Amino acid sequence: MVTFISNGWGGRTSVKHIVEKSGLLNNLLPGDILMADRGFKISDDVAFYQAKLVIPDFTKGKKSSGH
């Protein structure tokens, strides 16, 4: 398991913007699996790096706390 911690961002910054600008995607390798909470609408960005986005079932259908 690898954990990625980005720099802090303002409260109104979107999840997509943070993911795109944080450098996280640049660390993905083909075949990597990225697990994220609901509200992370980044599957196309992750797929570009031939990786897969997984959102656990227990988070689906709940209200997102993100923007």
Distances from the Cα of 32 to the Cα of 21, 38, 41, 44, 62, angstroms: 19, 19, 17, 14, 26
Domain around 39:
1-67
How many domains, the chain?
A: 1
pLDDT tens track for 5-44: 888 888 888 888 989 999 999 999 999 999 988 888 899 9
Q: Model pTM?
A: 0.71
Return the pLDDT at 52.
96
Backbone phi and psi for residue 52, each to the nearest 5 degrees, phi listed first: -125, 140
pLDDT at 10: 86
Q: What was the pLDDT predicted at 59?
A: 55
